[in-house]
Amino acid sequence: MIIPRKPQTSAEVAEHYDELDPFYREIWGEHVHHGLWVTGRETPDQAVEALIAHLADGLALKPGQHVCDIGCGYGATAEWLAENHGVHVTGITLSSAQLRQAQHRATGSSLLHFMEQDWLANTFEDGVFDHMIAIESSEHMSDKQRFFNEAYRTLRPGGRLAVYAWLARDDTRSWEERLLLEPICREGRLPGMGTEPEYREWAERAGFTVDGFEDLSAKVKRTWSLCARRVAKKIVTHSHYRRYLLDARSRNRIFALSLPRIWLAYTIGSMRYGFLTAHKPSSSS
């Protein structure tokens, strides 16, 4: 696993998303995750929804089931799942800024509930969820084994887990770690970036049966060229972007450096984007 030189805490992850909240909403929109270009002709909005739909297909959702969205962002994924599959979704986030936006979506809906909570210190009872999703949130967990352990504990027998994750290539070279992956972790507030074998091992050690893994790197990397162009345009046309980047008090301005790093890491294969699916064996298995 790639570990940043400076340890990254849950508080720093929350601060990252709170401080960058207006920029995330302007650049990324309501979905703070990659897009999935299956045909290559999708618009950015269609691509981000395609990523959610692909995840939903892996869960075989049924109306009335209860899903936990670990690291729910602004709640747009939860809302999509509720509207398209009739499931109840409980979303958790570390960010108070994200929570405020998500709670607006929950207003008047009996299917959505959002809360500010650290997954590694969650208060849920055993076996309360039918399914569980984590879209690009496990990277922000300092203890990834505990991430899977808690998912296993709070899933009912037979329940499914679906995880989209930023991953390091299995055999990264020292210069890739030094110039790309370690800075990406540090600048993006990732306590660690695992590999596919490590994710499989953590899931199985927790008790899960791993059902599958897909490498979607080639289908998602366009996300970063789009984001880089949007950021460049904003810097040119919006003075508050320039002020933020030039202000030494902006603790998370360094993340701007990660945009080209991540694009390059995907391009040369240093980084992968993986989709892992697993289930908690039923008591009769």
List domains and CATH numbers for the chain: 10-17+49-216+270-279 (3.40.50.150)
Is 47:35 a contact under the CB 8 Å cutoff? Answer: yes
pLDDT value at residue 157: 97
pLDDT in tens, 140-157: 999 999 999 999 999 999
Q: Please report how the helices 76-85 and 96-106 are oriented relative to each other, as an axis angle in degrees rounded to 10.
A: 30
Whole-angstrom CA distances from 105 to 79, 114, 138, 178, 256 are 7, 9, 24, 41, 29
Question: Side chain identity at 239, as an amino acid letter?
Answer: S
Q: How confident is the model at residue 23 (pLDDT cuts 50, 70, 90)?
A: confident
Other residues' Cβ atoms within 10 Å of the Cβ of residue 216: 18
Residue 274, helix vs strand vs coil: strand
Distance CA 91, CA 112 (A): 8
For 60, the token pair is: 């075989």
pLDDT in tens, 65-98: 999 999 999 999 999 999 999 999 999 999 999 9
Q: Which has more pLDDT, 244 or 139?
A: 139
For residue 284, pLDDT over 50 is answered with no
pLDDT value at residue 115: 96
pLDDT value at residue 28: 77
Q: How confident is the model at residue 31 (pLDDT cuts 50, 70, 90)?
A: confident
pLDDT in tens, 156-191: 999 999 999 999 999 999 999 999 999 999 988 999
pLDDT value at residue 74: 94
Q: How confident is the model at residue 63 (pLDDT cuts 50, 70, 90)?
A: very high
Helix (H) or strand (E) holding 278: strand 271-279
Q: How many residues does the chain have?
A: 285
For 47, the token pair is: 């691509």
For residue 268, pLDDT over 50 is answered with yes
Question: Side chain identity at 173, as an amino acid letter?
Answer: R
